[in-house]
Amino acid sequence: MTLLALEGVACVRGGRLLFEGLDLVLGPGEAALATGPNGAGKSSLLRLAGGLLRPAAGTVRQEQAALADEHLALDERQPLGAALGFWAALDGKGPDLAAMGLEALALVPVRMLSTGQRKRAALARVVASGAALWLLDEPANGLDGDGQARLEAAIAAHRASGGAVLAASHQALALPGAKMVTLG
Amino acid sequence: MTRLILRELRLSVAGGAAALPLVFFLLVATLFPFAVGPDGPLLARTGGGALWMAALLAALLPVDRLVEPDRAAGVLDQLALRSIGEETVACAKLAGHWLSFGPPLMLAALPGAALLKLPPETLIRLEIGLLIGTPGLAALTLGVAALTAGLRRGGALAGLLALPLAVPLLIFGAGYLERGNESGALQLLGAVSLLLVAGAPFAAGAAIRAGRD
C-alpha cells in the first residue's frame, strides 16, 4: 500500500519551471525530507502532494493528507480550543491539544498567540486529523526545544502506527531513515 | 455542511459585519427623503425602488469578507484537503450569507417603508419581492466575491462586476412593486433569482479552484 506516489512530476509556477521528473513513493512508516534553497519549490511540492496544485506533468496519487503550512486557517477571534475543535469536528475527532503542549492555551484567542504557539496549533491540527499522510512545511520554524521534541515524538508515533510524513525543512529535523528530496 | 453554514453565520455576527448592511439599508431609507424632498405621494411612488437599490447595495457590502479572508488564511485549502468540494463550500457560504442579511433586511424594510410612507400593499409586495430576490442577490455577491478573491482592490472590482448583473433582479423587483403581478414580474424575479442561486455555487467553486494555481 502506498500513501503517496509521485511519478515524473513537474511543477511550473508563474511561468517558471521549478522542478521536473520528480519521483517519490511513500509507504506506511516512511518519511521524506525535501530540501533546497528558498524558492526551489518545496512548498509547491507539498501542495502538489496534497492535491491542491495540479502537476504540469506526471501523476500524483495520495491518501487523505493533512497539511501544516504557513497559513494557520484558524479563526483569529475564537479561543484556540474552539478553533481547533471546528476542524476536529470536520475530521470526526476531538481536538488534541496535549500532543503539542497547548492545554493551557485552550481559552486564549488565536490572534493572541505567538509565532511558535501558532506553529504548534497548526501541528496539533495535523496530529488530531487522523490522516495517513502528513505534509509539513517548515514544521520546526519558530518552535522552541520542547516544541521540536514534541514534534519529533509525534512524527515518530505517526510513522510507528503506519503513517507517512513528507516534510520540507531548513532546520535539522530528526527523521530517521527519511528519503531525501533535493530541489533546485 | 451544517457546521460550515454555522461557521459563516458566526463569522458574520461576531465581526459585527451582519449589522452593517442593515444600518446601511436604514440609512439610505432615511437619506432618500432628504434628497427628493418630503413630498408624500412622490416618496410613496419612488420609495420602493429606492429600497430595492438599498437592498442591492447592502447585499454587496460584505463582498470582500465572503471568500478572500478564508482564501488568505488557508481555510479553503484545509477544507479541500478534507475532500470537501469547493461547490459544497460555496453552497454553505451562500446559505450563510443569505441568512445573515436576507431575513434581517426584510425586518429592516418595515421601518424603512414607514420612513418613506410606503402604502401597505407596496410594503407587502416589497417583502415578497425581497424574500424571492435576496437569495439571488446573495448568490451574485458570492460568485463575484469568489472571482475577485486574491485580487488587489477586489472589492471595488466586485461592485463593478456585480451591479450590471443585478439589473434583472432590480427591474423585476421594482416592476412588481409598481404594477403588481399583472405582467408576471414576480415569476420573472423568481426565475432570475433561481438561476443565480443554481449557478453561483458552480461558478464560485470553479473560481476558488482556479485561484489556487
Place of cell 501541528: A123
**Chain B interface with A: residues with Cβ < 8 Å:** 3, 7, 11, 14-15, 72-75, 77-84, 212-213
Residue A64 phi, psi dihedral angles, 5° rounding: -50, 125
Nearest Cα residue in chain B from A15: B213
Distance CA B186, CA B98 (A): 19
Distance CA A75, CA A84 (A): 9
Give the best residue of A16, A46, A90, A123 to mutate against chain B (max B CB count within 10 A): A90
- pLDDT tens digit string along B65-102? 889 889 988 899 999 988 888 999 999 999 999 998 89
Query: Any idea which of A69-78, A91-100, A114-123, B51-60 has the lowest mean pLDDT?
Result: A91-100
Facing B14 at nearest CB: one of A47, A67, A77 = A77
Q: A17 and chain B: CB distance < 8 Å anywhere?
A: no
Place of cell 443554481: B198
Asked if the model's pLDDT at residue B6 lies above 80, the reply is: yes
Closest-CA distance of chain A to residue B89, Å: 13
Can you say whether the dihedral through the CA atoms of B21, B56, B128, B180 is positive or negative? positive
The full set of domain ranges for chain A reads 4-182
Upper half-sphere CA count for residue B128 (Cβ side, 13 Å):
18
Distance CA B161, CA B155 (A): 10
Mean pLDDT of A32-43: 89
Contact B78 A53 (CB under 8 A): no
Q: Which residues of A touch B83 (CB under 8 A)?
A: 64
pTM: 0.89
ipTM value: 0.89
Cα distances (angstroms) measured from residue A152 to each of A2, A138, B76, B126, B140: 22, 13, 28, 62, 47
Nearest Cα residue in chain B from A77: B14
Under 8 Å between Cβ of A23 and A7: yes
- To which H or E segment does residue A171 belong? none
Residue A161 — pLDDT band, cuts 50, 70, 90?
very high
Homologous superfamily of A4-182? P-loop containing nucleotide triphosphate hydrolases (3.40.50.300)
Asked if the model's pLDDT at residue A146 lies above 70, the reply is: yes
Model pLDDT, residue B141: 93
Asked if the model's pLDDT at residue B190 lies above 90, the reply is: yes
Under 8 Å between Cβ of B17 and B62: yes
The full set of domain ranges for chain B reads 2-212
